Amino acid sequence: MGITSLTSTGIKDFFVQRVTAVIIAIYFSYVIIKVLSLSYVGDLNVDTWHALFIGGSVVSFFKIATLMAYLAVFLHAWVGIWIICGDYIKNAWVSSTIMLTFIIGYVGCFFWLFVILFFY
């Protein structure tokens, strides 16, 4: 299982999981504050939500933050999947199948998110 580890050491994986948790918390805190402030003003609708992602340019802060949050979720979940498969699933074939399914699913979702953010 050492080959599928993110950083090849448990301490580094632990650190990656904690850093990505902070990134995810900051992103969703920002989203919650933005939604609450827009709803307090009474301006929470599709147009303002769309404007939040557009931001006056092709590459807005919120698009980049969303991609960073998604990648943080991917890395955070990968460490978790790797630990679960390494500790609790002893059959190598089943463990590899679970990890491969995870990778295919998350990479597919990443491309879907990229298309939504930059082409719509």
CATH code assigned at 36: 1.20.1300.10
* pTM for this entry: 0.82
pLDDT at 120 over 60: yes
pLDDT at 3 over 60: no
Residue 6, pLDDT score: 60
Indicate the pLDDT class of residue 2, thresholds 50, 70 and 90.
very low
**Neighbour count for residue 13 (Cβ, 10 Å):** 19
- Count of positions (residues) in the chain: 120
**Mean pLDDT on 77-96:** 91
Residue burial 14-31, b: 16+ Cβ < 10 Å; e: rest:
eebbeebeebbeebeeee
pLDDT digits (tens, 9 = 90+) for 37-69: 989 998 889 888 888 888 666 678 889 999 999
Q: Which domain holds residue 26?
A: 2-119
Instruction: Specify the number of domains making up the chain.
Output: 1
